[in-house]
A = this chain, B = another copy of it.
């Protein structure tokens, strides 16, 4: 935790050794000030792992990457926003392959060493000529400086208001390692698997099986604990590249554990950023559910609260409407005894022993207004497992954004 929070306070985290990035506008988005093509290149052959959407209707780049990861010998990720290449059938899959081949040719690596990410409008074919022109531009200006990092992160944004970056460092057996993460996600963010696009880069060396296992476990505890609107995207993907540029053998034992901690910090920071930047959000909800027999049950309760429009509008209105929170837990599908449940909102006790508790409603309302983050703590009292879940409030601005975003 401490590492990632420190990293977030830094203006821009550094890239690990052996990576260069760039972004540009290539005409996929209408606004010429918005980047829509990015390229991430590893100067060394990298291990790659990926976690993907569980949506049955999944996009061509998901099908493409999923067939290739985990594995070794990867050199680049080509990214576009403004077009999701989803629901585009066999032509969409051929377009994803063509996009990877374009990037490979421009940076002179094998086509099989390039992965692709797409996000944006569903159901339109990729404009391959525009993408090729954009890739040519970014291939010519790859760099590791802060401006390049920000521009590359902006190239994967859709309705995000800001790039989401995170970094972490750790040392093990005399070697310093760096992790870097960037992500996008402000809508179609639902609590299943990756739920957004994310790229994690490290200069550590990793075996593909370790990379895949750790990425999967970490995504389950971080990206899978975020919801803006409960709508699982067709394109959700998190990719991890590990190029070994820091030196040393593939991590194992204590080194691998240290890496796992750093990976968790980077992913949790990005996950929180996604909720915080939820479309139209005025609050980020941190929902801590504890005292359950299993972590899945805790997540199920937290997710139901996170997705309730009545809870989300109550926080928007700075209303400590605990009945909506308690009743959302009640319809989560988890069977529990309401008499044992204890609810606190921003630290104030609101409900215990199945009955209301006297509290200063105005003071709690003021505390919601005073902070960007609202803390909902629910102790269920029938186990020892817990979960932390992030969500955003539901505002009229969310409706305006989504009623007016036309296909």
Contact = CB atoms under 8 A, between A and B. Distances in A.
B406 A327 contact: no
Interface string A315-326: 011011111101
A344 interface: no
Interface stretch (A2-10, A29-37, A121-129, A248-256): A121-129
A355 B403 contact: no
A335 interface: yes
Contact of A402 (B58, B310, B356): B310
A395 interface: yes
Contact of A338 (B54, B87, B334, B335): B87
Within the oligomer, what is the number of copies of this chain? Answer: 2
A361 B316 contact: no
A352 to B, nearest CB: 10
Contact of A57 (B53, B307, B320, B330): B330
A406 B319 contact: yes
A306 interface: no
Given A86-B327, A229-B310, 16 more contacts: A57-B329, A87-B323, A121-B323, A122-B323, A187-B310, A190-B331, A234-B323, A234-B330, A309-B402, A314-B402, A317-B403, A317-B405, A320-B407, A323-B407, A394-B399, A398-B399
Interface string A378-407: 000000000000000011101110111111
A195 to B, nearest CB: 10
Interface residues of A, number: 70
Q: Give the residue among A84, A192, A328, A336 with the most B Cβ atoms within 10 A.
A: A328
Interface in A143-167: none
Contact of A356 (B123, B319, B323, B329): B123
A347 to B, nearest CB: 18
Interface of A: 53-58, 84, 86-89, 91-92, 121-124, 187-188, 190, 192, 229-234, 307-310, 313-314, 316-317, 319-324, 326-331, 334-336, 338-339, 351, 353-356, 361, 394-396, 398-400, 402-407
Given A87-B338, A91-B355, A327 B231 contact: yes
Contacts of A91: 355
A166 B379 CA distance: 43
Contacts of A327: 55, 57, 86-87, 122, 188, 231-234
